[in-house]
Amino acid sequence: MPQTRKVDLALGDLVTIDGRRYEVVPDRMGGVTLEPPIRPMAELEKRWGTRPVSAEEFERVAGDLPTDDER
């Protein structure tokens, strides 16, 4: 039988269950639920070994693509 433990948690708390991180967030019924945390882009970029592109790099790649204002 799985181990059950009662803990006091507050919104925004991070918990680890079976090696996975979760954040305590409000649910639609006025209670709380656990969801995977939203990671800051800086953390993801560090993990992936990437970086944001400069405005010049973006323009070079996507400069000719239409925007929402163009038809």
Task: Note whether residue 3 is domain-resident.
Answer: no
- pTM listed for this prediction: 0.49
Q: Which two tokens stand for residue 14?
A: 């991070």
Question: What pairs with residue 2 in β-bridges?
Answer: none
In DSSP notation, 8-35 reads: ---TT-EEEETTEEEEEEE-TTSSEEEE
Task: Note whether residue 52 is domain-resident.
Answer: yes
Angstrom distance (rounded) from CA 36 to CA 18: 13
pLDDT-based confidence at 69, cuts 50/70/90? confident
Tens digit of each residue's pLDDT (9 = 90 or more) over 9-20? 889 898 998 899
Structural domain that includes position 42? 14-62
Candidates 51, 18, 56, 52; CA nearest to 34 is 18
Task: Note whether residue 33 is domain-resident.
Answer: yes
How many structural domains comprise the chain? Answer: 1
Tens digit of each residue's pLDDT (9 = 90 or more) over 36-64? 988 888 888 898 999 988 988 888 888 77
